[in-house]
Structure 1
Amino acid sequence: MSASPTGRLALVTGAGRGIGAAVTAALVAAGARVLATDVDGEGVAALADAWGDKVVARPLDVTDPDAVDVLVAEAEDTLGPLDIAVNVAGILRSSPVEALTDTDWAATFAVNTTGVMHVSRAVARRMTGRGRGSIVTVASNAAGIPRTGMAAYAASKAASVMFTKCLGLEVAAHGVRCNTVSPGSTLTDMQRALWPAGDEAAAVRRVVEGDLAAHRTGIPLGRVAEPSDVADAVVFLVSDRARHITMHDLYVDGGATLRA
């Protein structure tokens, strides 16, 4: 049984930075080849420059179903069968519900939920025919516990978790596994955008300690996650070490949700 996805081809969305870039790096380090995609073409091009022939970079807007289908078809024709798909692409539009616009709600679901469906559907169609494959969706612990000012984000992530579980049930008989990884606060640009400008150490401390006024628990392990912490969980789930795990939602949040 292999502890790593050596020699396998992985598609990673949202790979231009943050958790997506960390997942790409971790998969390459584990021996996989990666098709790194992002709406930010420059971000994934930098990954390809860094990793050489181990990473192929392509721009991709996951909200465009035709673009997703074309990319998957071209990848399989030129690079080989996709053994792994990791849905990382996501956006966060924070707002109290009373001020939440229809545009921000729709944009959040278009990327975080519908984009996951587009990519997962395209790769599952091919994986089931081969009788193997692994799909991992990076969701959020906000999918399992209410957050003030994050209704659209939390709802979109909850939907993507349940979509991935339902897909996992449908394709299990074909040897395809579908799981989710749900991070808590992680040191990414998305996280930093939620903090006031200035002292990052103070912002981290507030996250770790929690905020009673915002009904937010702290982080029992006493640290904010690095993107690599999430990436390591993804690599485990796509490896043969996790061959009997499917429809599972793995929280990587230092205990922040108290697994509510």
Structure 2
Amino acid sequence: MVAESSRPRGEFGGRVALVTGAAQGIGEAVVHALAARGATVAATDRQTAALAASVARSTGERAAGAVVPYPLDVTDGDDVNRTVGRIERELGPVEVLVNVAGVLRTGPALAMTDQEWADVFAVNTTGVFHVSRAVVGGMAARGTGSVVTVASNAAGIPRSGMSAYAASKAAAVAFTKCLGLEVADRGVRCNAVCPGSTDTPMQRALWDGPSGPRRVIEGDVASHRTGIPLGRIADPEDIAETVVFLASDRARHITMQDIYVDGGATLR
């Protein structure tokens, strides 16, 4: 008989999850949600000081699992391979991968520099490729695993001043679905979550004064941007709950899907 203390706790008890972009915002919320449900979470980010603070916030009495920080630059394929290898040696095989790391550069498409374009794609698209390639091979060999890529509702609707970001997120969604098709017969599911405006440091950087949230909710006709029909900006936890559902056995028959969590902003 298994001792009570050694039994996995929570929905993800006994499972190892890897989350990129874990230092703040949606990534931090995903780490907390997985740990609260019993996962051992490898929390990764290239912002090491912010990552340490995030891990401290994500552990405590409410966490049934554990959170372990790992510095990681998703744009560096060699660093990704080394870090994933270290995580699996120290924590065990990764069964859940959540790609959250992302950057935003705004401005007119015709004014976008080569470097700005490259920087956005390096994290938002190539980073997803690097980490997925390093992790999913092992999942496929073991016959189980779940990948969730956090993209954006900008992946499915034009946004003024966000050409690089929107294109990079659309590419990440397409890659995730193609990967899902290739590994479906080996028990690995790959899905995308597409948030709308969410109360994160990235979103707050776009606000111009205290009226920022109201303007997002109401929309902007001049920039051809609809508002948010539900009348609120998402909390990071709203996105994390969708991620956790897709990563869980409750979604065992869902793969190659993109789920929009934007309060109806894209009118889909």
TM range (shorter): over 0.9
Q: Note if contact 2:40-2:91 (Cα within 8 Å) is conserved in structure 1.
A: no
**In structure 2, do the counterparts of structure 1 residues 10 and 235 end up closer, same or farther at CA, with 3 Å as the change threshold?**
same
Q: Note if contact 1:4-1:236 (Cα within 8 Å) is conserved in structure 2.
A: no
Equivalent position to 2:149, from 134, 137, 140: 137
What does residue 91 of structure 2 align with? 79
TM-score by length of 1: 0.96
Amino acid at match of 2:119: A
1:3 shift after superposition? 8.5
Aligned length: 255
- Secondary structure (helix, strand or coil) at the match of 2:14 reads coil
1:7 shift after superposition? 2.2
What does residue 232 of structure 1 align with? 241
Amino acid at match of 2:206: L
Equivalent position to 2:106, from 94, 97, 105: 94
What does residue 28 of structure 1 align with? 35
Amino acid at match of 2:214: R
Alignment RMSD, CA only?
1.3
Q: Note if contact 1:138-1:180 (Cα within 8 Å) is conserved in structure 2.
A: yes
Equivalent position to 1:6, from 10, 13, 19: 13
1:33 shift after superposition? 1.0
Q: Distance in 2 between matches of 1:192 and 1:47?
A: 18
- Secondary structure (helix, strand or coil) at the match of 1:48 reads helix
Q: What are the residue-to-residue correspondences of 1:49-128 with 2, within 5 Å? A: 49-50=56-57, 51=59, 54-128=66-140
Deviation string for 1:170-190 (max 9, x for gaps)?
000000000000000000010
Deviation string for 1:115-153 (max 9, x for gaps)?
000001110111000000001000000000000000000
Equivalent position to 1:19, from 2, 26, 30: 26
1:74 shift after superposition? 1.1
Structure with the larger RCO, 1 or 2 (CA within 8 Å, 6+ apart): 1
Equivalent position to 1:245, from 230, 254, 264: 254
Q: Distance in 2 between matches of 1:3 and 1:164?
A: 27
1:47 aligns with 2:54: yes
Amino acid at match of 1:111: V
Q: Distance in 1 between matches of 2:51 and 2:235?
A: 20
1:188 aligns with 2:195: no
- Secondary structure (helix, strand or coil) at the match of 1:83 reads strand
- Secondary structure (helix, strand or coil) at the match of 1:220 reads coil
Gapped regions of structure 1 (runs ≥ 5): none
Q: Note if contact 1:5-1:240 (Cα within 8 Å) is conserved in structure 2.
A: no
**In structure 2, do the counterparts of structure 1 residues 54 and 3 end up closer, same or farther at CA, with 3 Å as the change threshold?**
closer
Q: Distance in 2 between matches of 1:209 and 1:111?
A: 30
Gapped regions of structure 2 (runs ≥ 5): 1-8
State the identity %: 65
Amino acid at match of 2:136: A
1:48 shift after superposition? 3.0
What does residue 167 of structure 1 align with? 179
- Secondary structure (helix, strand or coil) at the match of 2:255 reads coil
Q: Distance in 1 between matches of 2:264 and 2:69?
A: 35
Q: Distance in 1 between matches of 2:166 and 2:56?
A: 34
- Secondary structure (helix, strand or coil) at the match of 2:198 reads coil
Deviation string for 1:30-60 (max 9, x for gaps)?
1111000001011221233341671110110
Amino acid at match of 1:175: G
